Amino acid sequence: MDGNGRWAKKRGLPRKFGHREGAKAFKKIADHCMKLGIPYATFYAFSTENQKRPKDEVEALLRLFDEYLDDIREMDAKNVRLKFIGDLSFFPDSTHKKMLEAEEATGNNTGFTCSLALNYGGRDEILHAVKRLVTEGCNLSALNEESFAEYLYTKGLPDVDLIIRTAGERRLSNFLIWQAAYAEYVYTDTLFPDFGKRELDKALAEFGERNRRFGGV
Ligand code: IPE
Ligand code: MG
């Protein structure tokens, strides 16, 4: 969900206003995914690297996440299953608790699995998985790609089909680096707060034209 800061800057507003607008766009896009029958979507809201941002911006983001968590009932009513991926121990205890409660409360919903990557980093995720494997004493001969994936934050989620990158950026930024091994990328110059339903439809149409061979012929 890139481009919030630039959206605000263009309007002479502090960056946090861009994040607020981005959060509104997120809600609309999540609703549209649901209407289209997309079973899973993951939104990259805060990376492990984003911690390096100025304290006031990080605090504004934390407040925004916390406020959104109060809205969970709305998502629950729409049969959305919420999932949070990342090192959630970074968040204040009260926010972390709300995340776990939201996952628990919506865990049996079947409509649409909406994952939020919060304090997420692909490298952090792999390292976290390896540490757990070592601590739990893993059986090396039984370890394979499938069983390793069980140790990732995304346990239970399928591999990534499509990554949509907004705001003209063309890099990976540590996002789902294991899971996106064969993902298709669609790029747009649109800043995330301006990214709407039509833009999602366009990205999906582009994805539909790709010929996916997964390394085969
Ligand atoms: C993405 O927007 C949102 C977060 C990382 C939280 P940015 O804040 O990266 O926006 P730009 O890239 O500065 O425009
Ligand atoms: Mg950015």
3-state secondary structure 168-189: CCCCCCCCCCCCCCCCEEEECC
For residues 98-108, b (16+ Cβ closer than 10 Å) or e, as one string?
bbeebeeebee
Would you call 2 a catalytic residue per the annotation? yes
Would you tell me how many other CB atoms lie within 10 Å of the CB of residue 182? 12
Contact criterion met (CB below 8 Å) for 86 and 153: yes
Cα–ligand 1 centroid distance for 4 (angstroms): 5
Section 207-216 average pLDDT: 95
Q: Which of 6, 57, 62 to mutate to test the pocket of ligand 1 (most atoms within 8 A of CB)?
A: 6
* Global model pTM greater than 0.85: yes
Q: Quote the strand ranges of the chain, DSSP E.
A: 40-47, 80-85, 112-120, 162-165, 184-187
Q: Are strands 162-165 and 112-120 parallel, antiparallel or unpaired?
A: unpaired
> Band of the pLDDT at 71, cuts 50, 70, 90?
confident
- Mean pLDDT over residues 120-149, rounded? 96
Question: Band of the pLDDT at 181, cuts 50, 70, 90?
Answer: very high
Question: What is the pLDDT at residue 174?
Answer: 98
Tell me if 102 sits within 8 A of 71, measured CB to CB.
no
Place of tokens 């919903």: 109
Helix (H) / strand (E) containing 135:
helix 122-135
| Cβ of residue 120 lying under 6 Å from some atom of ligand 1 | no
Structure tokens at 105: 């409360």
Decide: 163 and 183 in contact? Cβ < 8 Å: yes
Separation of 29 CA from ligand 1 center, angstroms? 17
Q: How many whole angstroms from 196 Cα to the centroid of ligand 2?
A: 18
Q: Which ligand is closest in space to the CA of residue 117? A: 1
What pLDDT is recorded for position 72? 81
* Crossing angle of helices 15-36 and 197-208, rounded to 10°: 60
Exactly one of 50, 159, 174, 194 is catalytic; which is it? 50
